Amino acid sequence: MPKSNFLQAPGSFLTLMLEKYNLAPFRLSKEIHLSQSAVRLLVLGKNRITVPVALRLAKYFNTSPEFWLIMQVKWEIAQAEKDKDLMKIVKSISRMKTGSAPKKKSAGAKKSATGSRAAVRRVTKPKKPTAVKKPAPVKKTVRKAAKKRATGK
């Protein structure tokens, strides 16, 4: 997997932006309507940049949301590539072979042995009638009790 020459955590980049514009994290949190703790966790790299956060940062810093999200994804990929167990699993996966997917046959036409196309009549199975549920059998003791009540015995 290709690695870029320059890769920076989104939180450290956000810190550089705050320094460049002489902004305090508190002011940024007020400006983008995000809690102070959320901004602090972003700066520390403990929170990831989500789509809502990317939209807010993009609007405030006049960038695109994709800029922030791509930076986040590239950072996560770089971190995942450092995981030796994961990389062993990834290396053990074989690539899909081209042409291995089953090909669909065209409906309504079939090639005959001579190579010409002949119309094929679809044979459908008759639908089975849906089963009607039978009422549950009534126990004999219930019938006897109902009979006694009806006759008064």
Average pLDDT over residues 56-80: 96
Q: Is 80 exceeded by the pLDDT of residue 112?
A: no
Taking a C-beta distance cutoff of 8 angstroms, is the pair 36, 46 a contact? no
List the chain domain ranges: 10-92
Report the pLDDT value the prediction gives residue 111, as an integer from 0 to 100.
Answer: 53
Burial (CB count <10 Å: 0-12, 13-18, 19+), residue 41: middle
Report the pLDDT value the prediction gives residue 1, as an integer from 0 to 100.
Answer: 45
- As a three-state string, the secondary structure of the chain is CCCCCCCCCHHHHHHHHHHHCCCCHHHHHHHCCCCHHHHHHHHHCCCCCCHHHHHHHHHHHCCCHHHHHHHHHHHHHHHHHCCHHHHHHHHHCCCCCCCCCCCCCCCCEEECCCCCEEECCCCCCCCCCCCCCCCCCCCHHHHHHHHHHHHCC
pTM to 2 decimal places? 0.59
- 89: its two tokens: 């699993």
How confident is the model over 21-36, as pLDDT tens digits? Answer: 999 999 999 999 999 9
The angle at the Cα of 52, spanning 47 to 57, to the nearest 5 degrees, equals 80
Candidates 1.10.1380.10, 1.10.260.40, 1.10.287.130, 3.90.1410.10; CATH matching 10-92: 1.10.260.40
Inter-CA distances, 111 with 79, 98, 103, 123, 124, Å = 54, 25, 15, 17, 20
Selection from 84-93, 119-128, 140-149 with the highest mean pLDDT: 84-93
Report the pLDDT value the prediction gives residue 17, as an integer from 0 to 100.
Answer: 95
